[in-house]
Amino acid sequence: MSRWQHILLNLKMLPSLNMCGFLYTGADLGGFGENTTEDLLLRWYALGIFMPLLRNHSALGTREQEPFRFKNSIEKFRNILNLRYRLLPYIYSEFMKAALQGTMYASPLGFIWSKDEDARRTEDQIMIGESIMIAPVYEQNATGRHIYLPEEMKLVKFKDSKSYEEKIIPAGHNFVHVALDEVAVFIRKGHILPLADNAESVEKIDFENLTTISFAEKGARYELYTDDGECRNPSLSENLRSISV
């Protein structure tokens, strides 16, 4: 439904479905039933761009909710969707590694930091693959949100698909400001987030020439999975290449 609490429900369902073996998942961004609002849809897209299945879909009789319907925020939606295309090499890599190894694409913090009681109790933040954590804002009129970090991480706040701010956040409980038109990502220490250049379609993404954002000392490596997009029996070992900083 087009309700703020259903962004949180969406966030909790991702790892729950992964645990049951369903990796290719995603909610109807903006909510399927009832009428969405501009700010609700923006916040939902900030979560949706990390989901394997990204879809805006609503029931007959509800408000038309494609991003272009919201004239005052077209550039905001465009920036968030452009970031989705930049993230796709990482998203596809982590998705395929999970599918081929029988692991999870989206994981609760407690699965990674199993001895950390606060991490085990944190249900509104999830790891996406091995490198990044997300903590979407899911409350109306919020300027940000409280987060829990089991370890020191690098906060990357994307203002648009190309410009971003970086800040090291200490382990523990913190409050992070996230504007309505920003997307926040937390990178684990010793890890790398590969990004493609802006593209207008998946077909036009350059998976070879990538840039990186890292929270790592020199020598850190990331194993990127890429394939031809057509093979029905992909091999993990044959389609990995190493990225280092």
Query: What pLDDT, on the 0 to 100 scale, is given for residue 3?
Result: 98
80: CB partners within 8 A, 6+ apart: 42, 45, 46, 49, 181, 183
87: CB partners within 8 A, 6+ apart: 49, 50, 195
Kindly state the helix (H) or strand (E) to which residue 145 belongs, with its residue range: strand 144-149
136: CB partners within 8 A, 6+ apart: 7, 11, 43, 46, 47, 124
Print pLDDT tens along the chain (245 aa).
999 999 999 999 999 999 999 999 999 999 999 999 999 999 999 999 999 999 999 999 999 999 999 999 999 999 999 999 999 999 999 999 999 999 999 999 999 999 999 999 999 999 999 999 999 999 999 999 999 999 999 999 999 999 999 999 999 999 999 999 999 999 999 999 999 999 999 999 999 999 999 998 777 899 999 999 888 899 999 999 999 98
Residue 243: count of CB within 10 angstroms of its CB? 16
Given a contact cutoff of 8 angstroms between Cβ atoms, the answer to whether 188 and 131 are in contact is: yes
CA proximity to 174, closest of 194, 155, 198, 188: 155
CA proximity to 141, closest of 179, 111, 174, 171: 179
Kindly state the helix (H) or strand (E) to which residue 86 belongs, with its residue range: helix 74-101
CA proximity to 225, closest of 82, 78, 103: 103
